Amino acid sequence: MSVRRALAALVRAGRAVHWYTTTLLGDHDYARYVAHVARVHPGTDPGSEAAYWRARHAEQDAHPGARCC
Amino acid sequence: MDARTQTEQIRTDPDLPPVAVLERGPMPASRRVLFTVVAVVGAVAWSVVALVRGEEVNAVWFVFAAVCTYVIAYRFYSRLVEAKLVRPRNDRATPAELHDNAKDFMPTDRRVLFGHHFAAIAGAGPLVGPVLAAQMGYLPGTVWIIVGCVLGGAVQDYLVLSISTRRRGRSLGQMARDELGRFGGVAALIAVFVIMIIIIAVLALVVVNALAESPWGVFSIAMTIPIALFMGVYLRFLRPGKVSEVTVIGVALLLLAIVSGGWVAETQWGQDWFTLSPVALAWWLAAYGFAASVLPVWLLLAPRDYLSTFMKVGVIVLLAVGILIARPEVQAPAVSTFASSGDGPVFAGALFPFLFITIACGALSGFHSLIASGTTPKLLEKESQARPIGYGAMLTESFVAVMALITAVIIDQHLYFAMNAPAGVTGGTPETAAEYVNGLGLSGPPITPGEIERAAESVGEESIVSRTGGAPTLAFGMSQVLSSVFGGSGLAAFWYHFAIMFEALFILTTVDAGTRVARFMLSDSLGNIGGPLRKFRDPSWRVGAWICSVVVVVLWGAILLMGVTDPLGGINTLFPLFGIANQLLAAIALTVVTVVVVKKQLYRWVWIPAVPLVWDLIVTMTASYQKIFSSEPRIGYWAQHRAFQDAKAAGEETFGVATSPEAMDAVIRNTAIQGTLSIIFAVLVVVVVAVAAVVIVRSVRAGGLPTTEEPDEPSRIFAPRGMIPTAAEREVQALWDARERERATTGAGS
pLDDT at B678 over 90: yes
pLDDT tens per residue, range B393-415: 999 999 999 999 999 999 999 99
Count CB-CB contacts under 10 A for residue B537: 15
Return the pLDDT at B531. 84
Whole-angstrom distance, CA of residue B358 vs CA of residue B338: 14
The verdict on residue A20 lying in a domain is: yes
The range of the structural domain enclosing residue A58 comes to: 3-62
Return the pLDDT at A61. 85
What residues in A contact B205, CB-CB < 8 Å?
Answer: none
pLDDT tens per residue, range B518-548: 998 899 888 888 888 888 888 778 899 899 9
Query: Could you tell me if B560 and B201 are in contact, meaning their C-beta atoms sit under 8 angstroms apart?
Result: yes
Q: Which sign, positive or negative, has the C-alpha torsion B180, B183, B186, B192?
A: negative
Whole-angstrom distance, CA of residue B333 vs CA of residue B412: 11
Return the pLDDT at B480. 94
Q: How far is A45 from chain B (nearest CA, A)?
A: 15
The verdict on residue A68 lying in a domain is: no
The verdict on residue A69 lying in a domain is: no
Half-sphere exposure of A22 (CA within 13 A, CB side): 14
Count CB-CB contacts under 10 A for residue B341: 10
Return the pLDDT at B55. 60
Q: What value does the mean pLDDT of chain A take?
A: 89
Cβ within 8 Å, pair A66-B235: no
Nearest CA-CA partner of B148 in B386, B433, B320, B405: B405
Q: Where are the alpha helices (DSSP H) in B122-214?
A: 125-133, 138-148, 154-165, 172-211
**Inter-CA distances, B113 with A31, B187, B191, B286, B598, Å:** 18, 31, 29, 32, 30
Q: What is the mean pLDDT of residues B30-52?
A: 95
pLDDT at B204 over 60: yes
Q: What value does the mean pLDDT of chain B take?
A: 93
3-class SS at B353?
Answer: helix
pLDDT at A1 over 80: no
Query: Could you tell me if B346 and B468 are in contact, meaning their C-beta atoms sit under 8 angstroms apart?
Result: yes
The verdict on residue A13 lying in a domain is: yes
CA B323 to chain centre: 21
Cβ within 8 Å, pair A61-B367: no
Of A25, A36, A53, nearest to B240 by CB-CB distance is A53
pLDDT at B644 over 80: yes
The verdict on residue A7 lying in a domain is: yes
Query: Could you tell me if B221 and B610 are in contact, meaning their C-beta atoms sit under 8 angstroms apart?
Result: no
Of A25, A61, A69, nearest to B296 by CB-CB distance is A61
Q: Which residues pair with B658 in a beta bridge?
A: B655
pLDDT tier at A60 (50, 70, 90 boundaries)?
confident
Q: What is the mean pLDDT of residues B709-724?
A: 95
pLDDT tens per residue, range A5-34: 999 999 999 999 999 989 999 999 999 999
What residues in B contact A39, CB-CB < 8 Å?
Answer: none
pLDDT at A67 over 90: no
Q: Which residues pair with B10 in a beta bridge?
A: B20
Q: Where are the alpha helices (DSSP H) in B566-634?
A: 570-599, 607-629
Return the pLDDT at A31. 93
**Inter-CA distances, B548 with A62, B57, B380, B545, B560, Å:** 14, 52, 32, 5, 18
Q: What is the DSSP letter of B93?
A: P
Q: Please tell me which residue of chain B has the smallest CA distance to A34.
A: B102
pLDDT at B140 over 80: yes
> Which of A43-47, B734-738, B739-743 holds the top average pLDDT?
B734-738
Give ipTM to 2 decimals.
0.93
Return the pLDDT at B515. 92
Cβ within 8 Å, pair B116-A69: no
The verdict on residue A35 lying in a domain is: yes
Whole-angstrom distance, CA of residue B282 vs CA of residue B157: 33
Q: What is the mean pLDDT of residues B128-133?
A: 95
pLDDT tier at B360 (50, 70, 90 boundaries)?
confident
B448-457 CB contacts, 8 Å cutoff, 24+ apart = B451/B415, B452/B415, B452/B418, B455/B415, B456/B430
Q: What is the mean pLDDT of residues B176-200?
A: 90
Return the pLDDT at B374. 84
Which H or E element spans position B24? strand B20-24
Judged by average pLDDT, the poorest of B16-30, B155-169, B360-374, B735-749 is B735-749
Which H or E element spans position B412? none
Query: Could you tell me if B617 and B689 are in contact, meaning their C-beta atoms sit under 8 angstroms apart?
Result: yes
Return the pLDDT at B747. 61
Of B103, B310, B520, nearest to A56 by CB-CB distance is B103
Residue with the bigger pLDDT between B746 and B615: it is B615
Which H or E element spans position B318? helix B301-326
Of A40, A60, A68, nearest to B371 by CB-CB distance is A68
Name the domain count of chain A: 1
Geometric angle at alpha carbon B99, from B98 and B104, rounded to 5°: 135
**Inter-CA distances, A36 with A43, A45, B105, Å:** 12, 11, 12
Query: Could you tell me if B463 and B426 are in contact, meaning their C-beta atoms sit under 8 angstroms apart?
Result: no
Give the pTM: 0.95
Q: What is the mean pLDDT of residues B83-100?
A: 96
pLDDT tens per residue, range B483-504: 999 888 889 999 999 999 989 9
The verdict on residue A37 lying in a domain is: yes
Distant-in-sequence, close-in-space partners of B367: CB < 8 Å, separation ≥ 6: A66, A68, A69, B121, B125, B199, B361, B582, B585
What residues in B contact A66, CB-CB < 8 Å?
Answer: 120, 367, 370-371, 374-375, 513-514, 517
pLDDT at B616 over 90: yes
Q: How far is B564 from chain A (nearest CA, A)?
A: 19
pLDDT tens per residue, range B237-287: 999 999 999 999 999 999 999 999 999 999 999 999 999 999 999 999 999
The verdict on residue A67 lying in a domain is: no
Of B240, B514, B578, nearest to A67 by CB-CB distance is B514
Return the pLDDT at B605. 97
pLDDT tens per residue, range B559-584: 999 999 998 888 888 999 999 999 99
Nearest CA-CA partner of A69 in B589, B205, B4, B254: B205
Q: Please tell me which residue of chain B has the smallest CA distance to A55.
A: B103
Whole-angstrom distance, CA of residue B614 vs CA of residue B650: 44
Count CB-CB contacts under 10 A for residue B263: 11
Q: How far is B243 from chain A (nearest CA, A)?
A: 6
Return the pLDDT at B558. 95
Cβ within 8 Å, pair A66-B509: no
pLDDT at B1 over 60: no
**Inter-CA distances, B459 with B298, B335, B468, B482, Å:** 35, 29, 16, 12
> By a Cβ cutoff of 8 Å, what residues of chain A touch chain B?
20-27, 29-30, 32-33, 36-37, 40, 48-50, 52-57, 59-69
pLDDT at B748 over 70: no
What φ, ψ does residue B411 adopt, rounded to 5°?
Answer: -90, 155
Beta strands at B20-24 and B6-10: parallel, antiparallel or unpaired: antiparallel
Cβ within 8 Å, pair A65-B120: yes
